[in-house]
Chain A
Amino acid sequence: DAKTTQPTSMDCAEGRAANLPCNHSTISGNEYVYWYRQIHSQGPQYIIHGLKNNETNEMASLIITEDRKSSTLILPHATLRDTAVYYCIVRVAVNAGGTSYGKLTFGQGTILTVHP
């Protein structure tokens, strides 16, 4: 399975952009990069995903390097409510029961603290 490496923790000032890096140097060509976050005592929340191109939605932007070995999640204007654990995941295709499904393997994630 492709593994990801993220910093253990990061700080960001409220209103500034938060840039969360992730290394996935062993990613395969068909594997997507997913980002989830988990606020204390809640289930993981989907943020964004991408394959090759940069992606943007209402929550964040995802920048994937051309060689796909790393990516950066950008929260353009961080708020206190963005304080959470952010997980970068390479979704792997698993063959099971005669079909395939996408399996998420969570690491430790990055604890992002947004301060006033």
Chain B
Amino acid sequence: GAGVSQSPRYKVAKRGQDVALRCDPISGHVSLFWYQQALGQGPEFLTYFQNEAQLDKSGLPSDRFFAERPEGSVSTLKIQRTQQEDSAVYLCASSSRRMYGPFNTDTQYFGPGTRLTVL
């Protein structure tokens, strides 16, 4: 079946521009995650949604970063007034479980990412 898709795959922005990155999770997955991956580093957690509720945004680096998932499916990560340090690959992942328990599992499946370059 279809996996997680992201668009655009590549985005070039001038410093100060706003950008919007889209994530289409696997159909029916209630959990959605955004990650930021700098060059040569592992992905770093940004935010977590359960359906339309943003339950954890502790990883967002500044108030210029905003994520939404209004209908509990597609999600958008918006970055306002982009800076050069925002250049990175932005990854989206989804998983199926509604609830997490100590002995339950919920595997995250990742999209291909959007490579953002801020000039």
User: Residues on A close to B: CB < 8 A?
Assistant: 30, 32, 34, 36, 42-46, 49, 51, 85, 87, 93-94, 96-97, 99-109
Chain B residues packing against A (C-beta within 8 Å): 4, 31, 35, 41-45, 48, 50, 53, 55-56, 91, 93, 95, 99-103, 105-113
How far in angstroms is the closest Cβ of chain B from A10? 17
Contact of B55 among A43, A87, A93, A96 (CB under 8 A): A96
A38 to chain B, nearest CB (A): 8
Q: Given contacts A96-B56, A101-B50, A108-B41, are A43 and B91 in contact (CB under 8 A)? A: yes
Q: List residues of chain B with CB within 8 A of the CB of A85.
A: 42
Question: In the complex, A102→B102 CA distance in Å?
Answer: 9
Q: Which of B31, B101, B103, B111 touches A43 (beta carbons < 8 Å)?
A: B111
State the Cβ distance, A68 to closest chain B Cβ, in Å. 14
Interface of A is mostly: strand
Determine whether the beta carbon of B108 is less than 8 Å from that of A104. yes
Q: Are B55 and A101 in contact (CB under 8 A)?
A: yes
